Amino acid sequence: MMSTLKDNSQAAVHNRDQFLLNIANKLGRSAPLTQVTRPLLRHSCHQEVMKGLSTDQLKQVLQEYAHTSLGAEVIETTKSQLQAVLGEVCQRACAAEQDTKRVDTIFSASPALLELVTPSELANEQHQVHVWDNALGYEANITIAERAKIGVVMAEQALAESGTVVLYSDPKQGRSISLLPESSVFVIAKSTLLPRLTQATMALHNKAQRGERIPSCVNFISGPSSTADIELIKVVGVHGPVSATYIIVDDM
């Protein structure tokens, strides 16, 4: 069996038949099942949570939770004001740097975001702005993201109940933008607000049922990174971002 290990870089399955036969036997079958009907869930309480709430009501729930429980900053704005709001957020980060040290910001190249924002116009002497560019390859993008203080990404959806933004990895929006910089800025279209995880996982389920590949990395992010590993005391900012800003675009 180990001979099949010579080349691991080829996608392959090892040792499956014997392994599954053993499980089948333990379950009292002579061979593994080839068909199963997935039973319906016994209850529907997960679908009832915040059912019928308007997007404005969902926005309120999200705002409240993200602010009080996650310690995230929540800003409401409009499409036309987004550029100015992002400018302010970046400027504040610059002002927080001592000795007017240079601040780098990396933007996702998401078309939905770039339609509303012109990142280069946010640059100044102290503030250097980058846009994720797949063509530069791994090293260059990671170097920039690691140096950047702020990462700006476009959310796929946002979940009111848990103050969560959903990100799909995309060639134009790498995983590292919301991971390596100290501050994450999530731009959320109000129309993408959902009550809870139920609706977001349903979208992925439907994708899978249509036979589409799920993006290699789907992240459900609720606030900045945190830990309670020392004496159960909550510390915000561990390996991931130390702060999170949610910008909800009202007319989007």
Partner 1 sequence: MSMKTSDVNFKQRIKVKMQDEFMRHSVANAQERMFNNRQIAADKLGHWEEWRDMGMDIRNHVLENLDYYLHQLSENVVKNGGSVFFASTAEEATDYIETIIQQKGAKKVVKSKSMVTEEIGLNKVIERNGCEVVETDLGEYILQVDDCDAPSHIVVPALHKNRTQIKAIFKDKLNYQGSEDPEEMTRFVRDYIRHDFLEADIGITGCNFAVAESGTVTLVTNEGNARLATSLPKTHIAVMGMERIVPTFEELDIVISLLCRSAVGLPLTGYVTALTGPREAEHCDGPEEFHLVIVDNGRSDILGSEFKDILRCVRCAACVNTCPAYRHIGGQSYGSIYSGPIGAVLSPLLGGYDDFKDLPYACSLCKSCHDVCPVKIPLSDLLMKHREKMASDKITPFSERAIVSGFNLINAKPLLWDMSIKVGATVASGLIRDGKMPLSVGAIKQWNESRDLPTPDGQSFRSWFANRKQK
Q: Judged by CB under 8 A, which stretch of 75-83, 100-108, 109-117, 224-232 contacts partner 1?
A: 224-232
Which of 31/125 has CB closer to partner 1? 31
3-state DSSP assignment of residue 125? coil
- Contact positions with partner 1 (CB under 8 A) in 131-170: 134, 136-138, 141-142, 146, 159, 161-162, 164, 169-170
Could you give phi then psi for residue 208, rounded to 5 degrees? -65, -40
**Which residues are paired to 39 by β-bridges?**
none
Q: Among 67, 204, 250, 252, indicate the residue that binds partner 1 (CB under 8 A).
A: 204
CA angle 106, 111, 113 (to 5 degrees): 55
- Contact positions with partner 1 (CB under 8 A) in 66-95: 69
- Contact positions with partner 1 (CB under 8 A) in 99-118: none
> What whole-number distance in Å separates Cα of residue 174 and Cα of residue 169?
6
- Contact positions with partner 1 (CB under 8 A) in 42-61: 42-43, 45-46, 48-49
Q: Does 26 sit near partner 1 (CB under 8 A)? A: yes
Q: Among 27, 30, 99, 210, indicate the residue that binds partner 1 (CB under 8 A).
A: 27
Asked if 62 and 74 touch (Cβ cutoff 8 Å), the reply is yes
Asked if 142 and 79 touch (Cβ cutoff 8 Å), the reply is no
Residues that contact partner 1, how many (by CB under 8 A):
93
Q: Judged by CB under 8 A, which stretch of 10-18, 96-104, 114-122, 185-193 contacts partner 1?
A: 10-18
- Contact positions with partner 1 (CB under 8 A) in 117-136: 134, 136
Q: Does 3 sit near partner 1 (CB under 8 A)? A: no
Give residues with Cβ within 8 angstroms of 80, minimum separation 6. Answer: none
3-state DSSP assignment of residue 107? strand
> What whole-number distance in Å separates Cα of residue 89 and Cα of residue 61?
23
Q: Among 51, 52, 54, 171, indicate the residue that binds partner 1 (CB under 8 A).
A: 171
